[in-house]
Amino acid sequence: MNVVVCVKQVPEVTDAELEINKEGIGILKEDLEFDINEWDNYAVEEAVRIKEAHGGKVIVITLGDEDSEDVLRVALAMGADEAIRIDEEAFELSDAAGIAQGLYHVIRDLSFDLLLTGAQSSDYGWGQVGPILAELLGLPYASLVVGIEIDEGKMIVHRELESNTQEKVEIPLPAVLTIQTGINNPRYVSIMGIQKVRKIEIKETDSGELGLSEEEIGLMGSCVASQELSLPAVGEGAKILTGSLNEICEKTAQIIRDKAGVI
Amino acid sequence: MGGANNKNCELVGTTMIPYRISYWHIQPAWIFYLLAAVAVGIFIFGLITHVSVWIKGIKRQAIHLSWSGTSNLLLDGLLGLRIFRGDIAAGTIHLLILWGFSGLFVGTVLISVDYWLHHFLKGSVYLWYSTCLEIVGLMLLVGLVWSLIRRYLQHVPRLERRLEDLTVVVLLFVVVLSGFMVEGLRLAAQRPDWALWSFAGHWMSLLWTNHHQGALSIYPYVWWAHALLSLGLIAFIPYSKLFHMLAAPASIYLENQPLQAIPVETRGQDDEVFSYRDMIFFDACTRCGRCVEACPSTGAGEPFAPRDFIVWTRNDLLMKYHPLNHFDWFTNWIKRRHTREHVFDTQKIWYCTTCRACLDVCPVYVATPDTIRQARGKVVEEGIQVPSLLTQTLKNLYKYNNPWEATKKKRAKRSQDLEIPDLSKGEEAKGLCYFVGCTTSMDIRAQELARSFARILKHAQIPFAILGNKEPCCGDIARRAGEDGLFEKQMEDSVELLGRYGIRDVVTSSPHCFHTFRNEYPAFQALKPAEERLELRVRHYTMLLRELVTAGSLRLERPLNVKVTYHDPCYLGRHNRIFDAPREIIAAIPGVEMVEMAHNRANSLCCGGGGGRIWQEDLDADVNMAEIRIREAEAAGAEIIITACPLCLIMLEDARKTSSLEYAVRVMDLNELVATALSPPVLGGENHECCGMRKTGS
């Protein structure tokens, strides 16, 4: 049972103070830390668990710059067997379809039973690479997967729906699934674990080698073009109190007295 | 009577010389030797079993001849001094049993020498010999009975009542009792003139005063029973907690031998995580339960006890490396046998705060905090069972080089707030480097510690600087969590950075950084060529403050009129034995009345923040450890609980609020107290009116 997983390196933005870059369509990345996209982490863990239970191998693929090798190393340390990086240079400003094109040109030559991607990425969050890949590969597809039971030539897949409901569907293999967080508890990857896989060679390729032309990828190949990225405006009704701790406390108490009528 | 007397005395001239005939009325003696050989064989096989586990351990030290080891062996081994601490009855019982047992053992050796090599147990030597054996035998009996009373009638809480606990004591008891019976029967049958020298045996013989023929007829049966029980006892030793009589002295001797660091990259894939010394430690454990009493986690009702960890690990290792475990029948049998005891799950090792309370009370120095760390290392390496909050913390440590997810920008902003010369901004290192630490830099409450300390240093006119946004994590959290790869990376980064700025003198806010620099780094530095080693003088701030107070460069002149207590941080107190410095500083402040809590100094209770626990709130039981501590402070009548660690500060500050003692007890770092006592006071302004000082003078 061979499983291919598409992963992506994303900036950690939860607690960071983001700033927009001067082009106005991206963020400043100097002060940010990078990590594997959370959904993809669950997908890799799920792939490794499937391998541990059913044998076969796990291949991870990313489309990114040299630094994104880090996420491939993490995946290898988790138990993936092979890793491929597609250089992102020609893919700049690609929409989800362009990214999927790049991945598709690598994946179509691989022999696999299951293709996993994260349900979405934490940075742009289109959630489209998985479905487009399924379309390009002509494979059945299920999204937001929170459980997989593998049987002979098919699998039962649990999908997460609204209000805690789950749908159970049967899908023949091979197939494409996009993985939702919470499907498992991804293992911790120790520094030692990453050291151990340092010697595994990461295969590298690029758009030229894959025979992709400028019309298919990048800004030219995209039907969606980013116009502007902005931080939300400070809303009405929010008030930031300034002053010493005591002054802030006084002011807060005054507001509570005035607005809520608490004595 | 004469006939009997003829059999156990020699006629030398006209005097009768007392001695004992070996194998009197026992035929054939060779059966005894055969059985003895079997018993010794079983004993040796048991010994081999233990040794075959020990040799699988990693070799982290060479065994040197050491005086401290030898003196520990005498004091803690032969005298069992640590057993007396806090429990005089236990110490006395152990001494009675140890010396009773050893006395009888020596007696047996002597009689063998007498029989095989040189006949010297005769005349007055024999009589004194006999009396001594009576005394040690009675000591043993008294010790055994007393131990049974403590365990089964007094129900001392820390003692378990497993089958083994009963078997061991009862077996020893019947061996000694049957020995006295054999002697009694012999004396009843022989009726020698010197019977009173063997006073206990003589009392026993009074049971058969008028039946000496009867005594003679049952004598061989009782003799054989005694022989079989004694041989059984010998065979049983390596398979029971009695094995501590061999493992404990080894453990005590090895305790303070220096340990070698083993960098992660030199470790093999399947290497054992424990060293052979750890394995001897485990074998030395008698499940006495002192660690259970001392453990703050157990005390707070959490599902962890150091003793369980030790027993579980010991069983695990024995199963893994037993010489018979190539045979399926054996492994199946062991599995069936251990299922009930084998309930310790790996998740529980994360409860340990590595506070060292267990090691401090352990009579045989079982290094639980260290072995817990190594057991964690294995879990971290496998990755699957690491608790999710800890996974998050470790990932943050790797990504941000601090556990608080603080980017460099944030960290820079925080250190700006501290208004301290910053080396990362090109300011010169003027000697002292103040290593603020991740938590003291990032936590709003803990920052007060750094601000106060900086003001004190400025007041005392000590030039110093910080590393600002360059300051790395020292590696303490990774080390305690068993993530040694990350620890070593952080250590290397720190060493490189300190070297680059030419820093040789470091003072820390946190006892954790202090401990890591002082006690963890050197073993790794020792592996490097001399010119690459970092020679660092490391002090915790309490050490520096004491020096300043003693030298008179810090005058604490402002009376504070307040009643305080001091909470010993584990990594300052128990781990580094700094108990007096903070107390001396407090005592130097006029008007401050110091009261001690029920648990203080080496006996201090952990706040629950160490060993990575502060980042794993989901492990807390209903009552958390810090709440227990705050209640103790209140019970001691203190208005302020002083501590000297940012983690303790945060934990206690939270507990004060959650245990509704917000207005009864205040929490302060020692720096804050000292800053308030300076004249003129170097207060932090806005926050300090809440420090609870009663106004003095005016």
Report which secondary-structure segment, H or E, holds A150.
strand A141-151
Q: What integer pLDDT is reported at residue B697 of this predicted model? A: 37
Q: What integer pLDDT is reported at residue B109 of this predicted model? A: 93
Please name the residue of chain A whose CA is at the shortest distance from the CA of residue B376: A190
Number of inter-chain CB pairs under 8 A, A vs B:
61
CATH T-level topology, domain B2-239: Fumarate Reductase Cytochrome B subunit (1.20.950)
Q: Please state, in angstroms and rounded to a whole number, the distance separating the CA atoms of residues B186 and B195.
A: 10
CA distances from B364 to B65, B263, B287, B361, B372 (A): 19, 28, 11, 9, 17
Instruction: Please name which of B693, B611, B603, B592 lies closest in space to residue B651, comparing C-alpha atoms.
Output: B611
Whether residues B384 and A187 touch (CB distance < 8 A) is answered with yes
Q: What integer pLDDT is reported at residue B354 of this predicted model? A: 96
Annotated domain spans of chain A: 3-205
Q: Which amino acid is at B548?
A: L
Q: How far is B240 from chain A (nearest CA, A)?
A: 38
Q: What integer pLDDT is reported at residue B193 of this predicted model? A: 84
Q: Which two tokens stand for residue B169?
A: 């004591």
Q: What integer pLDDT is reported at residue A201 of this predicted model? A: 94
Q: How does pLDDT run across A105-142, given as a tens digit for each residue?
A: 999 999 999 999 999 999 989 999 999 999 999 999 99
Report which secondary-structure segment, H or E, holds B626.
helix B625-635
> H helices of B516-571, where?
521-525, 541-551
Q: Please state, in angstroms and rounded to a whole number, the distance separating the CA atoms of residues B613 and B387.
A: 11
Q: What is the value of ipTM here, to two decimals?
A: 0.85
Cβ neighbours of B153 (radius 10 Å): 8
Q: Please state, in angstroms and rounded to a whole number, the distance separating the CA atoms of residues B322 and B50.
A: 8
Whether residues A33 and B407 touch (CB distance < 8 A) is answered with yes
Annotated domain spans of chain B: 2-239, 250-254+272-386, 402-546, 553-691
Q: Which residues of B fall within a CB distance of 8 Å from A246? A: 686
Q: Encode B45-85 in three state secondary structure.
A: HHHHHHHHHHCCCECCCCCCCCHHHHHHHHHHHHCCHHHHC
User: Radius of gyration (Cα) for chain B, nearest Å?
Assistant: 32
Q: Please state, in angstroms and rounded to a whole number, the distance separating the CA atoms of residues B338 and A104.
A: 53
Q: What integer pLDDT is reported at residue B309 of this predicted model? A: 93
Q: Please state, in angstroms and rounded to a whole number, the distance separating the CA atoms of residues A226 and B235.
A: 82
Exposure letters B430-449 (e unless 16+ CB within 10 A, then b): eebbbbbbbbbbbbebbbbb
Whether residues A245 and B409 touch (CB distance < 8 A) is answered with no
Q: Which residues of B fall within a CB distance of 8 Å from A78? A: 383
* Pair type for strands A166-172 and A154-160: antiparallel
Residue among A35, A186, A191 minimizing CB distance to B399: A35
Q: How far is B523 from chain A (nearest CA, A)?
A: 20
Q: Which residues of B fall within a CB distance of 8 Å from A188? A: 380, 383, 386, 390-391, 394-395
Interface of B with A (CB under 8 A): 264-265, 380-384, 386, 388, 390-391, 394-395, 398-400, 405, 407-410, 483-486, 488-489, 685-687
For chain B, residues with pLDDT lower than 70 are 1-16, 338-344, 425-430, 622, 681-698
pTM value is 0.89
Q: Which CATH superfamily is domain B553-691 in?
A: AF0625-like (3.40.50.10700)
Confidence of residue A263 (pLDDT cuts 50, 70, 90): low
* CB A137, CB A176: distance < 8 Å: yes
> What interhelical angle do B212-236 and B29-54 show, nearest 10?
20
Q: Please state, in angstroms and rounded to a whole number, the distance separating the CA atoms of residues B379 and A187.
A: 10
Q: Encode B297-364 in three state secondary structure.
A: HHHCCCCCCHHHHHHHHHHHHHHHHCCCCCCHHHHHHHHHHHCCCCCCCHHHHHHCCCCCHHHHHCCC
Q: What integer pLDDT is reported at residue A219 of this predicted model? A: 83
Q: How far is B495 from chain A (nearest CA, A)?
A: 18
Residue among A187, A195, A245 minimizing CB distance to B383: A187
CATH code, A3-205: 3.40.50.620
CA distances from B319 to B248, B274, B582 (A): 21, 15, 47
Q: Which two tokens stand for residue B235?
A: 């065979």
Whether residues A187 and B386 touch (CB distance < 8 A) is answered with yes
Q: What integer pLDDT is reported at residue B12 of this predicted model? A: 43
CATH T-level topology, domain B250-254+272-386: Fumarate Reductase Iron-sulfur Protein; Chain B, domain 2 (1.10.1060)
Q: Tokens 């007396």 sit at which residue? A: B84
Q: Please state, in angstroms and rounded to a whole number, the distance separating the CA atoms of residues B323 and B45.
A: 9
Q: Which two tokens stand for residue B24?
A: 């009197």
